[in-house]
């Protein structure tokens, strides 16, 4: 998340009074009685993921028309945007927009301006657009870094974050892989993931394995030699909240690392690496005090009478356990509101409640493909887990329910127990 520091409120108020012709000679008492006309959006923020920039803001209470989003490679100054520029129109009440960025010759910064418009049409049938620049309020600068390709967004050129994990490195050393990184929040518990495929998005963690939790850098991993591995380190709190972000070059390795399979190679001492063996069933029995082993005698079959008695016992009848009833949150059963909440509620009401699991799953995956607020993403993953459950894919369902256990402990634990039961049947 890119947060911009606010300017003193006195400067902003002075700009507004000048722009809209409010007399500076008004007395202090009259200025308190008359509300300030503020036709502009506020609290503009930007979040980057891969090649997507998600803008969010608060609409103006004084300008209830659509908002218009302008993008530029230079800062917005002067009296208004270039008339030749074509803005993106977003309906009032949406309060977010996702912009897709193409690499642009190494430009490090992109500038956005959001203009509010009047809610009513004038005599000519058009709306009045308020091209008022309020720095750090309805304009924002987004640092993208030096972009060499779509797979290198969030590369090393980005400045260190205010909090989180960055500078993750993995290199082969002494028969293992040495993991090192910097952590701004040392009190948080971290989890190390390893995968045979690049970890570029959150969904790539599904095919990765957890090496260990609660690690402290530097940490040495001992994977199977001769295989190329990729690593990622995330906070356990982010995993339980369902707000994990994968940023290659920061908390995930860009390049794979391999432990040489030649254990006699110079610089790599021989290390015994093997997984936990399966239990061994011995077919031989050592006689007490004997120097050799004697084969265990062949089993003796049951007598006809004993076999008949066992058959008469029969097999206990097992009652088939019914599937759980679908669970939806009350707030998603109400009339749709604006913004991302509206999209999630429409998915629940149009697909989830009708038990259209395939279509519901596709819409939820599309909904989660861009950054969402913590509560919206948590509920969406809870619904996604249920679509996997009713489709018979209990493994994927379990992963989704585990991800939202902290946010919705009672609901998630019931579904976790249910999916575990289905997995062992």
Task: Look at the domain 165-258 and name its fold.
Answer: Immunoglobulin-like (2.60.40)
Q: Strands (DSSP E) along 50-189, which ranges? A: 52-58, 67-72, 88-90, 96-100, 109-117, 129-130, 139-143, 165-173, 176-183
Instruction: Please give the model's pTM, rounded to 2 decimal places.
Output: 0.32
Question: What's domain 9-150's superfamily in CATH?
Answer: Immunoglobulins (2.60.40.10)
Nearest-angstrom CA–CA distance, 45 and 414: 37
Q: Go through 360-382 and write b for each residue having 16 or more CB atoms within 10 A of its CB, e for each that does not.
A: bbebbeebbeebbeebbbbbbbb
d(CA 20, CA 175): 70
What is the per-residue pLDDT for 203?
A: 80
Q: What number of other Cβ atoms are within 10 A of residue 169's Cβ? A: 16
Q: Do the domains 9-150 and 165-258 sit in the same CATH topology, yes or no? A: yes
pLDDT for 71 equals: 86
380 three-class SS: helix
What integer pLDDT is reported at residue 364 of this predicted model?
Answer: 92
Instruction: Provide CB contacts within 8 A for 171, sequence distance 6+.
Output: 177, 178, 257
Q: Go through 61-72 and write b for each residue having 16 or more CB atoms within 10 A of its CB, e for each that does not.
A: eebebbbbbbbe
Tokens 């399966």 correspond to 278
Domain ranges in the chain are 9-150, 165-258, 337-424
Domain 337-424 has CATH 1.25.40.10: yes
Length of the chain: 425
Closest of 77, 75, 58 to residue 67, by C-alpha: 58
- 175 backbone dihedrals φ, ψ, rounded to 5°: 80, 5
Reported as type and span, the H/E element at residue 295 is strand 293-295
- For residue 296, the tally of other CB atoms under 10 A from its CB is 10
Enumerate the β-bridge partners of residue 113: 70, 139
Local mean pLDDT, 10-residue blocks, the chain (425 residues): 41 47 43 69 84 85 89 75 68 84 62 88 78 84 58 37 71 88 76 89 84 86 87 84 77 86 45 47 50 60 83 69 85 70 87 92 90 83 94 91 85 88 83
Provide the pLDDT for residue 293.
52
DSSP 3-state of 148: coil
Cβ partners under 8 Å of residue 290, min gap 6: none
Alpha carbons within 13 angstroms on the beta-carbon side of residue 1 total 15
Q: What is the pLDDT of residue 359?
A: 93
- What is the helix, strand, coil percentage profile of the chain, to 5? 25, 20, 50
Question: What pLDDT, in 10s, does the model give residues 357-400?
Answer: 999 999 999 888 888 777 788 899 999 999 999 999 999 999 99
Burial 344-359 (b: 16+ CB within 10 A, else e): bbebbbebbeeeebee
Can you tell me the distance from the alpha carbon of 285 to that of 298, in angstroms, rounded to the nearest whole number? 12
């Amino acid at each position: 998340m890119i947060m911009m520091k606010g300017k003193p409120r006195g400067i902003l108020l002075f700009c507004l009074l000048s722009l809209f012709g409010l007399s500076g000679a008004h007395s202090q008492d009259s200025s308190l009685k008359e509300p300030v006309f503020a036709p502009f959006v506020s609290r503009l923020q930007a979040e980057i993921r891969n090649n997507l920039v998600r803008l969010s803001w608060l609409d103006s209470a004084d300008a209830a028309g659509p908002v218009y989003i302008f993008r530029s490679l230079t800062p917005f100054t002067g009296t208004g945007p270039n008339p030749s520029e074509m803005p993106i129109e977003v309906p009032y009440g949406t309060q977010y927009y996702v912009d897709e960025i193409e690499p642009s010759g190494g430009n490090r910064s992109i500038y956005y301006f959001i203009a509010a418009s009047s809610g009513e049409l004038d005599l000519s049938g058009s709306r009045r657009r308020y091209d008022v620049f309020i720095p750090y309020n309805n304009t924002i600068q987004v640092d993208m870094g030096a972009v060499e390709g779509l797979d290198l967004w969030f590369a090393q050129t980005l400045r260190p974050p205010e909090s989180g994990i960055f500078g993750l490195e993995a290199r082969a050393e002494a028969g293992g892989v040495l993991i090192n990184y910097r952590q701004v929040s040392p009190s948080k518990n971290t989890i190390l993931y390893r995968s045979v495929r690049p970890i570029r998005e959150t969904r790539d963690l599904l095919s990765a394995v957890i090496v260990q939790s609660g690690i402290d850098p530097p940490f040495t991993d001992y994977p199977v030699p001769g295989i190329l591995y990729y690593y990622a380190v995330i906070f356990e709190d982010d995993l339980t909240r369902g707000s994990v972000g994968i940023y290659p070059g920061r908390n995930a390795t860009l390049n794979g690392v391999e432990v040489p399979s030649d254990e006699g190679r110079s610089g790599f001492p021989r290390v015994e690496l093997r997984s936990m063996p399966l239990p061994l069933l011995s077919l031989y029995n050592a006689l007490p005090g004997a120097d050799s082993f004697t084969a265990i005698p062949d089993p003796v079959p049951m007598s006809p009478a004993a076999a008949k008695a066992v058959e008469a016992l029969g097999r206990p009848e097992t009652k088939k356990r019914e599937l759980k009833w679908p669970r939806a949150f009350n707030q998603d059963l109400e009339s749709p509101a604006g913004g991302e909440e509206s999209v999630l509620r429409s998915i629940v009401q149009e697909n989830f409640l009708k038990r259209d699991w395939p279509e519901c799953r596709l819409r939820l995956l599309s909904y989660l493909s861009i950054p969402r607020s913590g509560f919206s993403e948590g509920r969406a993953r809870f619904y996604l887990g249920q679509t996997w459950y009713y489709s018979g894919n209990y493994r994927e369902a379990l992963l989704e329910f585990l991800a939202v256990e902290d946010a919705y402990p009672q609901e998630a634990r019931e579904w976790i127990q249910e999916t575990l039961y289905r997995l062992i049947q």
